[in-house]
């Protein structure tokens, strides 16, 4: 497999992190997470970690300097041998990733899932129905459901067997790199 960056996006609870870990493991490529970076940034700011706070911190990082944000996250791995990036939530970040890794390609993969399965996952993580509605309506989610989904190189399912989804991604990538 030629080195590239596989970036995953999805609504909260759709399964992108599970799939990102599995793709990273199968390819032997490092995985880096925007969510983990934002959690550390929130901790460094001394703010209480909640879904709303994390969304606000992430949005602030994008507004301040999307390229710097993307670069800081990518600096955690050597992407020149290939990398998996978990949690792209903004088009500005996707474009920044593309600029930072050029001439390597970034393939955006959007993970879709059944709404009931997604709600169940979030409920099992301790979120209430109201917290899910609030999180879903935050401005950071608008581009996820809209522009990122529409601009994805590939859409996959996140509500089935992760191994099967990884097979689909790797087969697609192999065929894409042949062209």
Per-residue pLDDT, 114: 94
Question: What is the Cα–Cα distance from 148 to 140, expressed in whole angstroms?
Answer: 11
Lowest-pLDDT choice from 55-59, 94-98, 122-126, 142-146: 142-146
Residue 9 lies in a domain: yes
Residue 28 lies in a domain: yes
Confidence label for 179 from pLDDT (cuts 50, 70 and 90): low
Domain containing 136 — which CATH number? 3.40.50.300
Question: What is the Cα–Cα distance from 28 to 18, expressed in whole angstroms?
Answer: 15
pLDDT in tens, 110-121: 999 999 999 999
Per-residue pLDDT, 160: 84
Residue 77 lies in a domain: yes
Range of the domain at 109: 5-174
pLDDT in tens, 82-91: 999 999 999 9
């Amino acid at each position: 497999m030629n080195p590239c960056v596989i970036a995953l996006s999805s609504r909260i609870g759709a399964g992108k992190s599970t799939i990102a870990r599995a793709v990273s493991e199968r390819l032997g490529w490092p995985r880096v997470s925007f969510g983990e970076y934002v959690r550390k940034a929130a901790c460094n700011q001394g703010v209480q970690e909640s879904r709303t706070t994390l969304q606000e911190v992430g949005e602030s990082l994008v507004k301040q300097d999307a390229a710097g944000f993307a670069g800081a996250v990518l600096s955690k791995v050597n992407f020149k041998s290939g990398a998996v990036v978990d949690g792209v939530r903004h088009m500005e970040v996707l474009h920044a990733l593309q600029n930072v890794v050029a001439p390597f390609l970034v393939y955006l993969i959007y993970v879709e899932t059944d709404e009931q399965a997604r709600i169940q996952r979030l409920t099992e993580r301790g979120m209430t129905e109201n917290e899910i509605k609030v999180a879903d309506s935050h401005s950071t989610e608008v581009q996820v459901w809209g522009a990122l989904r529409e601009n994805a190189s590939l859409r996959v399912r996140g509500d089935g067997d992760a191994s099967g989804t990884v097979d689909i991604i790797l087969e697609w990538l192999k065929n894409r790199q042949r062209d």
